[in-house]
Structure 1
Amino acid sequence: MGQLEERVYGLFGEAGSLTREGAPLYMQMQARLRAAVRDGALRAGEVLPPEREIANAMGVSRVTVRRAIDDLVDEGLLTQRQGAGTFVTDRVEQPLNRLRSFSEIIRERGQEPGSRWLERSVAMPGEEEKRALALDDFDEVTRFFRLRTADGKPMGLELATTPTRFLPNPFEVEGSLYQVLGARGLRPVRALQRLRAVAVDEQRAAYLDIAPNSAVLYIERLGLLDDGTPVEFTRSWFPGDAYDFVVEIQHQTAGVPAQRQAAQQAGSTEE
C-alpha cells in the first residue's frame, strides 16, 4: 500500500467501507471529512489527496468525490486553489469589537506575521484620504501598502495612510504600524470600520494568489485618538476564505443595573 493510498484510508476508512444503503456516497464522504477536520486528522491549511486518488482508493466515481468536495468548498470548510489542489480552510477569527493590529491577531494564533512591501512613500493625499483624515490642501500623508502574510501565506492587502505630522518617515515601520504609533503615544484607541464585498481586480488577485474578479472583503478603518483626532486610515482586501469577522451584540438593556432597568420600564409603555 502506497503512502497516498494509506492517507486516503486514514481520512475515509478502508476500501469498501462506504455503503450504498442509506445516505448518498458523497454525503458519507463529507461526514468523514468533517470528522477528520474536527478530530485533527486534517489540519488547517493541509492539502487533500487528489480527487483521482481518492476515487480509485475508495472505489467510487470522481463525480462523487467532486460533489463531496464542492459542497464543502461552498460550506467554507475547504478551499480550492487553481493548480495547487484542495486545502482545509485556514480562517482567522477577528472580533470587530476589539481594536488590534494584524500582527497581534496572527501571533495570538501561534503564527508568524509577515509583510511584503509594495509601497512606502510620502505623497499628497487623495480626496478620500483628505476627507477621512480631515486634512488641509497642503498636508502630506505617509502611505504603507503591503501584502500581509501568516507563516508566508497571503492573508490580505493593506493600504494604510497617516498624516506626516504623526509619522513622517515611512521606513520607520517594518512590522506593526500600531506598535510604531504607540511608541509615539499615537496608537488609536477606537476606530470606525466599514465592510463590504467587492470583486478584486487582476493585480490585487495576483498578490493574493486568487482568481481575478473573486469576491473579497473590503474594509475601511479610521483609527482615532482619545480626543477624536483621526490618525490612521486603512483600506484592506481580505480573501473571503481567510477570515471570519465576529461581533458580539447585546440587547440595549444588557449590563444595565436592575434599578435603572426598572426605572426605564416604569417610564416607558409597550407599543
Structure 2
Amino acid sequence: MSFIETVGRLVSDDPAPLYMQLQKVLRDAILSRVLSPEAAIPPERDLAEEFGVSRLTVRKAVDGLVSEGLITRRRGAGTFVASRVEKSFSKLSSFSEDMISRGRVPHSEWLSKSAGAVTPEESLSLGLSPGTLVYRFQRLRYADGQTMAFESSTIPGYCLPAPGVVEDSLYAALDAAGNRPVRALQRLRAISFSADQAEILGIRPGDAGLFIERRGFLADGRAAEFTQSWYRGDAYDVVAELNRV
C-alpha cells in the first residue's frame, strides 16, 4: 500500500491552502495512530509526487508539523513521527495545555484530593506558617491514553475555596479563583524509578525518568503551588530556548 493510500488523499473541493490540507491529512493520520510513533515520513520529493503538489508546499506543511512537535527531522536519517513529548521551560503552562498544543489528548486520573495542615517540607517550599491549611492533589497524567507522569501538588488554602472545586484541570480551578500562578521556579533531575513508582506508571523498575519540581507564585509574591512530578524518560523531553542578552 502506498503512503497516500495509507493516510488519505487531499479533498479536491477544500478551499484551504494546499499546505494546510496536507498538514491536516498528516496530522489526522498521526493523531489517529494510522502513522505510529517513529514511523518514517517519505522524502519531500516523494510526497510532492504522490499528492500532486510542489515541494515547497510539502516543506511548509512538514515545517508546521515539526513546530507542533508531531514530526521530527533527523540529520542524515530522514523525517519521522515523533515518539516523545517535548516540554518547554520558556512558558508557564499546565500539562494539559502542553499536550493540546502538540496535538495530543490529555487525561488525568485523580488518585486523591485532600485538605490538611502544611508539613515542614511544604512550609519551607511555600513559605507558609506551621498549621496553615493546604490542599493536596495526586494524579496520574496521560497523553493519548499513555501514562506520562505521576504528579503531587500542594496548594495553599487561600488559593482555592475547597479541593472539590478542582475537576479536570488544577490550573483552570486556580484561574477561576483568580489565583493562577504568574511565574514559577522549576528544577529537574534525572532519576531511576523505584518498583512502586514503576508499577504506578506501568513501566519497569529502574527505568530512567525526570523529576520536575515547580514552585508557582502569584503576582503579589505569595506562593500558589508546590508540585512534584515524576515523568517517564522514554516519553518526555525538556526543551529550553536560550537567547543572548
Q: Which interval holds the TM-score relative to the shorter structure?
A: 0.5 to 0.7
1:165 alignment partner, SS class: helix
1:117 alignment partner, SS class: strand
Aligned residues: 177
The aligned residue for residue 43 of structure 1 is 36
1:206 alignment partner, SS class: helix
- Per-residue CA deviations over 1:67-95 (Å, capped at 9, x if unaligned) read xxxxxxxxxx9xxxxxxxxxx86211111
TM-score normalised according to structure 1 size: 0.60
**1:204 aligned onto 2:204:** no
Alpha-carbon contact 1:154-1:208 (below 8 Å) kept: yes
**CA distance 1:104–1:97, shift in 2 (3 Å):** same
The separation in 2 between residues aligned to 1:41 and 1:117, in whole angstroms, is: 30
- Per-residue CA deviations over 1:41-100 (Å, capped at 9, x if unaligned) read 852277xxxxxxxxxxxxxxxxxxxxxxxxxxxxxx9xxxxxxxxxx8621111101001
Alpha-carbon contact 1:224-1:231 (below 8 Å) kept: yes
Q: Once superposed, what is the RMSD of the aligned Cα atoms?
A: 2.6
| 1:128 paired residue among 97, 121, 126 | 121
**1:109 aligned onto 2:109:** no
The separation in 1 between residues aligned to 2:93 and 2:112, in whole angstroms, is: 22
- Structure 1 moving runs of 4+ over 6 Å: none
The separation in 2 between residues aligned to 1:126 and 1:171, in whole angstroms, is: 21
Alpha-carbon contact 2:120-2:130 (below 8 Å) kept: no
The aligned residue for residue 173 of structure 1 is 166
In structure 2, what residue type is equivalent to 1:184? A
2:211 alignment partner, SS class: strand
Alpha-carbon contact 2:188-2:210 (below 8 Å) kept: yes
Unaligned stretches of 5+ residues in structure 2 = 7-29, 40-73, 75-80
The separation in 1 between residues aligned to 2:202 and 2:82, in whole angstroms, is: 15
The aligned residue for residue 133 of structure 2 is 140
| 2:83 paired residue among 53, 78, 90 | 90
Same amino acid, percent of matched pairs:
46
The separation in 1 between residues aligned to 2:103 and 2:244, in whole angstroms, is: 34
Cα deviation for residue 133 of structure 1 reads 0.9
**CA distance 1:136–1:110, shift in 2 (3 Å):** same
- Per-residue CA deviations over 1:104-161 (Å, capped at 9, x if unaligned) read 1111222221111111111222222111111111102101100011122101111111
Alpha-carbon contact 2:96-2:169 (below 8 Å) kept: yes
The aligned residue for residue 242 of structure 1 is 235
In structure 1, what residue type is equivalent to 2:170? L
Alpha-carbon contact 2:118-2:132 (below 8 Å) kept: yes
In structure 2, what residue type is equivalent to 1:228? G
Alpha-carbon contact 2:86-2:238 (below 8 Å) kept: yes
The aligned residue for residue 42 of structure 2 is none
In structure 2, what residue type is equivalent to 1:114? H
The aligned residue for residue 186 of structure 1 is 179
The separation in 2 between residues aligned to 1:187 and 1:41, in whole angstroms, is: 38
The aligned residue for residue 258 of structure 1 is none
The structure richer in strand per residue is: 2
**CA distance 1:41–1:140, shift in 2 (3 Å):** closer
**1:157 aligned onto 2:150:** yes
